[in-house]
Structure 1
Amino acid sequence: MLFLHLSDIHFRASEIDRDDDPNAGLRDDLVHDVQLMRRRIGRAANAILISGDIAFSGTKREYDFAFSWLHSKLCPAAGCEIEDVFVIPGNHDVEWSQAAKPLHRDARAKLRSCDAKDADKFLREYLSDNFSAQLMFAPIDNYNRFAARFLCSIGPYDEAHPDIKPFTTRDWDMEDGSKLRIWGFNSALISDAQDSPNQMFVDPAGAQIQREYGVAHVVMCHHPYGWLKNGAGFRERIEAVAKLHLFGHEHTRRIEEGKHFTTIRAGAVQPDRDEPGWDPGYNWIGLSIGYEGDKRYLDAEIWVRKREGARFIAVPDHDQAETWQARHRLSEWSAPIVVDKPHVGATTVMTPPDEPKTSSTSVSARIVASKMFRLAEHVQRQIIVHLSLDQDGDQGLKDYEFVLAAVNRAKSQNRLPALNEMTDEALYGQGNK
């Protein structure tokens, strides 16, 4: 499994789509290095992980540009599809004009003034009330419309729509049949120009993740622990459960090696040029299952890259090796055994499970959702209603939530091929193949 890991791209509305964009050359150097590293490593990325701050001011224009750059530049260089992107929000993904409204300002003041031991309790109170919960998520509406294209949008809990959660996850199959699960948590619930260490809040669900048989856990969060007022329980939990902890925000690429887990900071693709030690960077992360006798491990290879001049170079480990290595013990696990039902008098035969069957009609929810969001909103609704994928209670959903609810219903009803076919026909009809 191979991931491209980056953060803090900071697309600014005042700079993008201009010939004199001061970061255009930097992004070109990054894309070029991604192509070179892909060839050097010898395989394409399975996904691109972005640990927050895609935008600079959380505006729609910044996200439109971000999607275009990912689709036309970075994904082709990494060798993956646009739907393989996995994102979480950072403080720059908050639209501060929304966050400046009086009710939101009052909520920030109350939460930031409370004792750390009471932080999760007060936060749960806000998130348990529909009105206040919607208020807290309103400043990242533009981010969510962007993230929905990758099935990474987040929102307050909704009993009528259980797929909406304040965090996001994605699973990958490892080579031994076990699962790798990446959790994406929101640490920008409370954000404004006064953001400072010990004044940010991470979703309380992060302190409650649970072990699962055959699953290796990785956690992504934009803000490192020192920024989180309610970070003690979060840190304690993920250090006990997750083998890799991926962060953004602090524009460094430090690898913190531990016996039970490794902490990785992405660095910043486009740090502020006025900040001390301006030093753009990003990471490649390779993960695999390894064994020593009957002991099972998650093996990590990390290529840390930094810009020097007009090119990117390696940041070596303590022994000056180009690749950082980490190995963390996993619990015992073996692939399920399928017992063939014997005929009377026959011998029971134990066989491994068949390889997953694929067909020309198989399609993933992420692929269908990615296509749906290329259609005009009225066309999306026509398709959803035609296939009866809407239901009572959808009226209160936001536009992107309505599409995702329909995609999830199609998946649960085994109707993704039908939704995919109608979406393809609509895309062809509007000249967008």
Structure 2
Amino acid sequence: MRILHFSDIHFRKSEISTTQDPNFHLRSELVRDVVSQSQRLGPPDAIVISGDIAFAGDPAEFEFATEWLRNLCEACGCSMQSIFVVPGNHDAVRELADQDLVQLIHNQIKRAPDPTTELSRYLSNNSSNRLLYQSLDNFNQFALQFFCDLLPPERTRATRDLPLNDGSTLRLWGLNTAVLSSSRDDEGTLFVDRASFQITREPGVVNMVVAHHHLSWLQQGAELADHLNDVAPVQVFGHIHTNRVELNRDHVRLTASAAHPDRREAGWEPGYNFLEISVVGEPEMRRLHIRAHVRIWQTAPGGFQAKMDRNASVFEHFINLEPWRSTLATSEPVSPIEASIFGNDAAMLVSERGENMNNVRALGLRFYRLSFSKKSEICGRLGLLEDEDIGQPDHERFRRVLLRAHERGQLEDFAQAIVAAEQE
């Protein structure tokens, strides 16, 4: 399992697609290096972005990100279906997060005797959770195409299952550390909700946690670290713009460099990670084998180079796993996009494969690219909107439409409608 890990890309509306973009050459070199690493190691099976895709949460920034990621996937030989994203503080619209009423809720949560319980209370209320999440609406529209969009109170984290080499599962958990983010962020003042503490160990499952803010930025940082260290052998973060590699007995914790750090920052060092994850050993003596290729930018001469672990160009680590033997070793694994769309029902796809199921994998991405009016026309014509969708954010309505098309056996009609709309 090869995973490409980016963080803090910071596509800025005032710079992208202009001749004054200071990061144009840097991005070009980054893509060239990813292609080179993909040719050497194999194309990535997943691309994980741990937040701050945008700079100010502007729709134009997310549109540029989508196109850039599409070109990156094509260049390194992987699918857009492989992308997994979580929100960062720059993915939120600050003007909305800074509103007086929203700040009142933020302050009440942060000053409560038990802030985690107080946050859960606000997330369980439809009026207050809408206020808390409205600043992430543009991010969620972007994340919908990868089925990583969030909606409280039940869907406050994203998940994705990927097949490992021995038939076991690498389960991605995307946490939202930006739920209380605003222009008043400070280290140690942010929170995650209780869903982040419900990650558990399961036979044949290796948990990998993806979050934007480093644990030091969370008031529950020590508590969350204790929990994740017990249940998640692989942990990746961003935000601090400095790469860190921690190799521990039961877990590996990686913090990525920013793909686009501010050039005025001390120690300016753009970078990204390329991970190789596999299971080695017999079923009774399994070990997780992790090889982290940490790529960092150097100047004069310019180019991405390997960060060295003493004399080695790769950080290599082994973690003991519990005994486990696959009972479905000969079955074709459920694809990541199918697992994302259908959740616990994904296993049924193993016995329902065919041309129709192959088309499902790209359906969400193609639907996302249509204009709002074309999306709405398809939903209405196929009768896929319900009264319960009224008042929901656009990304949630369209997610429900795709799920209903599957449940009602209308995926073929849905796909044909998308093709027709693309040709108009």
- Aligned counterpart, 1:85: 83
- Superposed counterparts of 1:243-258, under 5 Å: 243-258=233-248
The SS at the match of 2:374 is helix
SS at match of 2:258: coil
1:334-413 to structure 2, matched below 5 A, reads 334-336=325-327, 353-355=330-332, 356=350, 358-363=353-358, 365=360, 367-413=362-408
SS of corresponding position for 1:298: strand
**Cα distance, 1:240 vs structure 2:** 0.7
- Helix, strand or coil at the partner of 1:150: coil
Aligned to 1:202: 192
What CA deviation, in whole Å up to 9, does each residue of 1:161-191 have, x standing for no partner? xxx6011001111222221110000001112
Kindly provide the CA deviation profile for residues 136-173 of structure 1, in whole angstroms up to 9, marking residues without a partner as x. Answer: 0011111111111111111212xxxxxx6011001111
How big is the alpha-carbon RMSD for the aligned residues of Structure 1 and Structure 2? 1.8
Q: Counterpart in 2 of 1:119?
A: 115
Q: Partners of 1:421 and 1:363 in 2: how far apart? A: 14
The answer to whether the aligner puts 1:311 opposite 2:306 as a matched pair is no
Q: Aligned pair 1:270/2:268, yes or no?
A: no
Identify the residue that residue 75 of structure 1 maps to in structure 2. 73
Aligned equivalents of 1:258 and 1:315: distance in 2?
19
CA distance in 2, matches of 1:45, 1:165: 27
2:320 to 295, 317, 329: 329
- Return 5+ residue gaps in structure 1 as ranges: 158-163, 338-351
Q: Aligned to 1:192, what secondary structure does the other structure show?
A: coil
SS of the residue aligned with 1:362? helix
2:338 equivalent in structure 1: none
> 2 CA distance for matches of 1:258 and 1:3?
20
Work out whether residues 5 and 274 of structure 2, in 8 Å CA contact, stay in contact via their aligned partners in 1.
yes
1:213 is matched with which residue? 203
Match of 1:228 in 2: 218
* Worse-superposed segment, 290-299 or 134-143: 290-299
The 5-angstrom pairing of residues 411-422 of structure 1 reads 411-422=406-417
Letter in 2 for 1:385: G
Partners of 1:71 and 1:354 lie apart in 2 by: 30
Task: Determine whether 1:426 maps to 2:421.
Answer: yes
Contact kept, 8 Å, 2:208 with 2:235, in 1: the verdict is yes
Contact 1:90–1:188 at 8 Å: present in 2 too?
Answer: yes
- Paired residue for 2:270, among 280, 285, 290? 280
2:62 & 2:325 partners in 1: Cα distance? 42
TM-score normalised by L of structure 1: 0.89
Once residues 58 and 34 of structure 1 are traced to their aligned partners in structure 2, the CA distance between those partners, rounded to angstroms, is: 26
Structure 1 counterpart of 2:11, which letter?
F
Where does 1:20-39 land on structure 2 (aligned, <5 Å)? 20-39=20-39
The Cα of 1:365 is off from its aligned counterpart by 4.8
Q: Deviations over 1:248-269 (max 9, x none)?
A: 0011111100010000111100
Percent of aligned positions with the same letter in both sequences? Answer: 36
- Gaps spanning 5+ residues in structure 2: where? 333-349
The structure-2 alpha-carbon separation of the partners of 1:229 and 1:383, relative to structure 1 and needing over 3 Å to count, comes to same
Q: Is 1:46 equivalent to 2:37 in the alignment?
A: no
The number of residues matched between the two structures is: 404
Residue type matched to 2:116 in 1?
Answer: D
Tell me the alpha carbon deviations over residues 12-69 of structure 1, each in whole angstroms, 9 at most, x when there is no partner.
112111112111111111011111111121x111121000011111111111111111
CA distance in 2 between partners of 1:268 and 1:403 (Å): 32
Structure 2 counterpart of 1:347 = none
CA, structure 1 residues 297+414, in 2 after alignment: closer, same or farther (shift >3 Å)?
Answer: farther
AA matched with 2:100 = P
Letter in 2 for 1:234: L
